[in-house]
Structure 1
Amino acid sequence: MSDKDLLKNRFAANLRSYNSLAVVQERICEELAELIGTHVPGKITRGLEVGTGTGFLTRRLLERYPDAEWTLNDLVEASECFLQPYVGGRKTQCYWGDAESLPAFGRPFDLIATASTVQWFDNLPAFLNRTQEMLAAGGRLALSTFGPDNFEEIRATTGDGLVYYTSAELAGLLKQAGLTIEEQKEYARRLEFGSPTDVLRHIKATGVNAIRKTRWTPRRLTDFETLYRSRFSTSSGTVTLTYHPILIVARK
């Protein structure tokens, strides 16, 4: 099974829990939609969303640009049922599959938006080059991803995790792709959980676990609990999990 197949299966298995528990991702979508509204205040004709998930960003885009023609993409086709409440009466078409293999769709887009998706890509520079080609002159790419401090507790405890670009590296990739950054922001948000096991449950329920297949034996889980508590406990007895969002709006 490829990494993308494993990723697809894990997200598909956790769509319902994601919709209710991915509080950080939903807030990121709110913030990204606000940035988009600031930099694209008028109407648009054609938009593309990459990685719709359960529709956190989708519904905000459709509300803000109700007359636009939208192409919606996700790796997981089962996402469609979560989008149905938002797409009724709108001009939308869905393309299910790996966003790194997206077709050109024939006409340029005024806006390409993607939230909490590109950190999974095998070749982000190539994707950014393709999005630049798919944008109309003056069109915007709005994206959110995560920075190097994301899930720092997991990486420090297990040695496992995704490799993330820094803000400066992302800015460089966008410039190389022929895009001009209009706004870029980043911050850290720490959630607190009752135990390290609760952290693992949260990561599993939101589908954002590292894509490697991990076998949690009782011994390994005990060692993980002990080490995690020793490093990342708070004064109140909880443990932390760090998110490091990066949000960018860039113009062609």
Structure 2
Amino acid sequence: MVVTHRGAQAVGRCLEFGCGTGHLTRALVDRLSIADLALNDLVGDCEPHVMARLPAGQRARFHAGPVERLDPEGTFDLIASASVVQWIPDHRCLLRDLSNRLEPGGWIALSGFGQDQFGELQALGSSASAPGYRNAGDWAAMVPQGMALMATRQIQTRMYFPTVRAVLRHLRETGVNGNAQGGWSRARLQKFEQDYDAQFGTAQGLPLTYDAVWMLARKI
């Protein structure tokens, strides 16, 4: 979406927050020539992993901590983040803060999840949710004055698993939802397994819905 709407021209300064181990980072540096890259994640231990994904000669610095308290020097031409904003409840405040860090004409590219994320788990009363689920249509009201929403996209996909325990293992290992971990007594887990299979079981297995949302905005 960035390349489609912004073009592939070089980026002066780019900030990626919630970079994790660098999957989006690698995509950014592969598709765009970035002169100066600032990387951030809440977990400081991510630094060696994300740095290892960078091509030789890429100028980059890592900043640990929450993006809300991040204070790198200067402003940016592009701010990007993947699968992080669902953990930030106040998106108006977030976008206002990010806009203040942008150069005129700069871009914000974010991905998160919509209201149907993990719909199966939500229907069964699971705590597997995050505070900031937004559908694509919700983002227009979040964008602050002085920015234009350029594009949104929302796509639902389903993964299938042989057992409920495999679903829970997937959630734990991918880290997409820490709220789904722990607190399972044998009786509670057994009932959850029975209910999941009865309500959602298919010939393909047990589904888990991902409701992915992307947004792209530009500072006017």
Same fold (TM over 0.5): yes
Q: Aligned AA for 1:197?
A: R
RMSD: 1.6
Of residues 38, 41, 45, the one that matches 2:4 is 38
Provide the rounded CA distance (Å) in 1 between the counterparts of 2:102 and 2:165. Answer: 44
> Does residue 170 of the first structure (1) align with residue 136 of the second (2)?
no
Of residues 39, 46, 54, the one that matches 1:72 is 39
Provide the rounded CA distance (Å) in 1 between the counterparts of 2:17 and 2:26. Answer: 13
Provide the rounded CA distance (Å) in 1 between the counterparts of 2:164 and 2:145. Answer: 40
SS of equivalent residue, structure 1 residue 211? helix
Provide the rounded CA distance (Å) in 2 between the counterparts of 1:44 and 1:210. Answer: 34
Q: CA deviation at 1:210?
A: 4.3
Q: CA deviation at 1:183?
A: 1.3
Of residues 196, 202, 209, the one that matches 1:234 is 202
Of residues 134, 140, 160, the one that matches 2:107 is 140
Q: CA deviation at 1:184?
A: 0.8
Is the Cα contact below 8 Å between 2:136 and 2:215 reproduced in 1? no
Match of 1:59 in 2: 26
Match of 1:21 in 2: none
Match of 2:97 in 1: 130
Deviations 1:149-208 (A, max 9, x none): 00011111134222412222222101x353211111101000000011110000000112
Provide the rounded CA distance (Å) in 1 between the counterparts of 2:179 and 2:145. Answer: 28
Is the Cα contact below 8 Å between 1:44 and 1:68 reproduced in 2? yes
Structure number having the greater helix percentage? 1
CA shift in 2, pair 1:67/1:145, >3 Å: closer
Q: CA deviation at 1:246?
A: 0.5
SS of equivalent residue, structure 2 residue 33? coil
**Which ranges of structure 1 fall in alignment gaps of 5 or more residues?**
1-34
Using the TM superposition, name which of 79-88 and 196-205 deviates more. Answer: 79-88
> Does residue 225 of the first structure (1) align with residue 193 of the second (2)?
yes
Matched ranges for 1:157-196 at <5 A:
157-160=124-127, 161-163=129-131, 164-174=133-143, 176-196=144-164
SS of equivalent residue, structure 2 residue 194? helix
Is the Cα contact below 8 Å between 1:46 and 1:69 reproduced in 2? yes
SS of equivalent residue, structure 2 residue 109? strand
CA shift in 2, pair 1:185/1:158, >3 Å: same
CA shift in 2, pair 1:115/1:55, >3 Å: same
CA shift in 2, pair 1:67/1:205, >3 Å: closer
Provide the rounded CA distance (Å) in 1 between the counterparts of 2:51 and 2:130. Answer: 31
Match of 2:214 in 1: 247
Provide the rounded CA distance (Å) in 1 between the counterparts of 2:134 and 2:68. Answer: 17
Provide the rounded CA distance (Å) in 2 between the counterparts of 1:245 and 1:171. Answer: 17
Match of 1:26 in 2: none
Count how many residue pairs are aligned between Structure 1 and Structure 2.
Answer: 215
> Does residue 149 of the first structure (1) align with residue 123 of the second (2)?
no
Using the TM superposition, name which of 78-87 and 136-145 deviates more. Answer: 78-87
**Which ranges of structure 2 fall in alignment gaps of 5 or more residues?**
none
Q: Aligned AA for 2:69?
A: S
CA shift in 2, pair 1:190/1:211, >3 Å: same
Q: What is the TM-score normalised by the length of structure 1?
A: 0.81
